[in-house]
Structure 1
Amino acid sequence: MSWINRVRNALPFAAPKRDTPDNLWIKCPSCGEMLFTKEYEDNQSVCPRCDHHGRIGADARLAQLMDPGFVLLPAPKVKEDPLKFRDTKKYVDRIKGARAANPHPDALTNAVGRIEGKKAVVGVQEFAFMGGSMGMAVGNAFIAGTERAIREKCPYIAVTAAGGARMQEGILSLMQMPRSTVAISRLHAAGLPYIVVLTDPTTGGVTASYAMLGDIQIAEPGALIGFAGQRVIQDTIREKLPEGFQRAEYLHAHGMIDMVVHRHSLRATLAETIDYLMAAKAA
């Protein structure tokens, strides 16, 4: 026991030390304001001071977007560590660590249900799972989601959040780019919409494939969206890039995405979009 605790215990008028939860407060990564965690979560993880849209997990995202009663789809099984990859640690150990820290077996989780009464299959990427990286499990989950949408005769909505392809799977991860493109083509052949919600961050091979192939491209405010990083591009073209050129607002202003929608309005916007696109299909 330290001397300060001994002194405290010896003083009858000293108030006893009380333990407080470690997660009572959260610091906004944008403005630095300290916020009550409950207040922050009740506001859909949007800072009430500066309106920064924080990163959220797949379960929270599905709960925000879908009506109660949605059903999670089983994750497809894939061969793990097909290349026997190792860097500073084994790939299988990285997967085990990611699974221990996350509720789902890989970075893309599908659910079937309704959005304000409109049937939809929604696939959400979990950035906390190895940076939302796209490997065989993500590719197979994406394809499974589109196939379920075809069977249900409803749209497939992809909510992207990724650092790109999963380097530990090498060329096998890059193969998920054309595979997902073919899956989207099959969805279109069935006359069904494909909608993308771009969240922070969406980069690399995910941006170069299914993230930018939506019939409608919706982004959250301030989301980082791009292929290569700003520094890499500047070093390559040897020119200074505009401020915020990879942010949602800049991309919207230059015609690369269709809408920038606040998280509070995202569910209603998706329901309206589904209604419009499915009505066009019926016509």
Structure 2
Amino acid sequence: MIKKLLSKEKGYAQVSVNKKFNTKNVDEKFWIKCESCNSNIFIKEVEENMSLCPKCNHHFKLSARKRVNLLIDEKTFEELDKDLVSMNILKFPEYEEKLERYTGKSKEKEAVITGTGKLNGIDVILCVMNSEFMMGSMGYIVGEKTTRAIENGIENKLPVIIVCASGGARMQEGIISLMQMAKTSQALNKLSENGLPYISILTDPTTGGITASFAMLGDIIMAEPNALIGFAGPRVIKQTIKQDLPEGFQKSEFLLEHGFLDLIVSRKNMKNKIHQILKMHGY
């Protein structure tokens, strides 16, 4: 009887194993792999921890809306210019389709959210760039919304906070995109002339024309740990100068060591650190 049960001719249920499944390939619906400590972590656990790795404090990317909620007191944020949207002014091929696709994907109309709100009771202007919308690239609407927000700060004598996250200028808008670098910088110069503080927060990544304009113009320049910050990417720089780059080149810690940043602050402490700085300035 036992021999019959163990017979090769007997059919048994077959269990197939996904050969691609390994420590680097987990179910993306429930797990996320930390690129810093290589741990597999429940996504829900990360989300409940401000998108930080609970094991090594690695800073995962955070959506613009969550960033607003992180910094601004509950139910105090009033969005500015939320209906401004980009148009294909240069008739760039397939630009309209790309804008529509990213609007659907990110649930946002542009690559920056601007508004007023209270940060631990202090009235502020907040601009948060949205890396989920065309890599946070700066087109003329991003430049216009940011400039209007800064001008609102001047008019109402409010400090300005900009959270940067961008791949640079938007190529589909050509020179018009590059003009936003000068426009936003000029607005910040007026803010400074009026004696109002500007705090720039650099997150991963902050690159291109954003770095070459308002990102690096803060009275206080802060960054999250291990954020990529620079103008051109490390590969382009290496190919240009034909030299090996220092370890950690263009990361927050390297820039702090070489005097390009004032502070590196964990996401958990960001709101309280900004509040402390504003209080030092009399707010």
- Whether TM exceeds 0.5 here: the answer is yes
The alpha-carbon deviation at position 76 of structure 1 amounts to: 5.9
The alpha-carbon deviation at position 79 of structure 1 amounts to: 5.4
Aligned amino acid, residue 161 of structure 2: I
SS across alignment from 2:59: coil
How many pairs does the alignment contain?
259
The alpha-carbon deviation at position 25 of structure 1 amounts to: 2.3
Instruction: Extract unaligned runs of 5+ from structure 1.
Output: 1-6, 9-20
Task: Identify which of 259, 264, 270 aligns with 1:260.
Answer: 264
Task: Identify which of 50, 53, 71 aligns with 2:56.
Answer: 50
Map 1:142-221 to 2 at 5 A: 142-221=146-225
The alpha-carbon deviation at position 23 of structure 1 amounts to: 2.8
CA 1:49–1:125 in structure 2 vs 1: closer, same or farther (change >3 Å)? same
Which residue of structure 2 lines up, in the alignment, with residue 102 of structure 1? Answer: 106
CA 1:22–1:223 in structure 2 vs 1: closer, same or farther (change >3 Å)? closer
Q: 1:228 & 1:22 partners in 2: Cα distance?
A: 31
Q: 2:86 & 2:276 partners in 1: Cα distance?
A: 39
Q: 1:227 & 1:28 partners in 2: Cα distance?
A: 26
Map 1:267-278 to 2 at 5 A: 267-278=271-282
Offset from partner CA, 1:97-142 (integer Å, 9 cap, x none): 0100112210010121111111111100010100000000100110
CA 1:78–1:182 in structure 2 vs 1: closer, same or farther (change >3 Å)? farther
Offset from partner CA, 1:136-166 (integer Å, 9 cap, x none): 0100110111022123311110000000000
SS across alignment from 2:90: coil
| 2:56 aligned with 1:36 | no
Q: 1:120 & 1:229 partners in 2: Cα distance?
A: 33
Taking structure 2 as the reference length, what is the TM-score of the superposition?
A: 0.87
Aligned amino acid, residue 217 of structure 1: I
| 2:238 aligned with 1:234 | yes
Q: 1:177 & 1:156 partners in 2: Cα distance?
A: 17
Contact 1:205 1:227 in 2 (8 A): yes
Task: Identify which of 90, 101, 108 aligns with 1:83.
Answer: 90
SS across alignment from 2:231: coil
Instruction: Extract unaligned runs of 5+ from structure 2.
Output: 1-12, 15-26
After TM superposition, the structure 1 stretch with the greater mean CA deviation from structure 2, 68-77 or 48-57, is: 68-77
| Greater RCO (CA < 8 Å, at least 6 residues apart) | 1
Q: 1:265 & 1:233 partners in 2: Cα distance?
A: 33
Which residue of structure 1 lines up, in the alignment, with residue 3 of structure 2? Answer: none
The alpha-carbon deviation at position 208 of structure 1 amounts to: 0.3
- Whichever of the two has the greater Rg, that structure is 2
After TM superposition, the structure 1 stretch with the greater mean CA deviation from structure 2, 126-135 or 98-107, is: 98-107
Which residue of structure 2 lines up, in the alignment, with residue 125 of structure 1? Answer: 129
Aligned amino acid, residue 50 of structure 1: C
Which residue of structure 1 lines up, in the alignment, with residue 8 of structure 2? Answer: none
Contact 2:85 2:110 in 1 (8 A): no
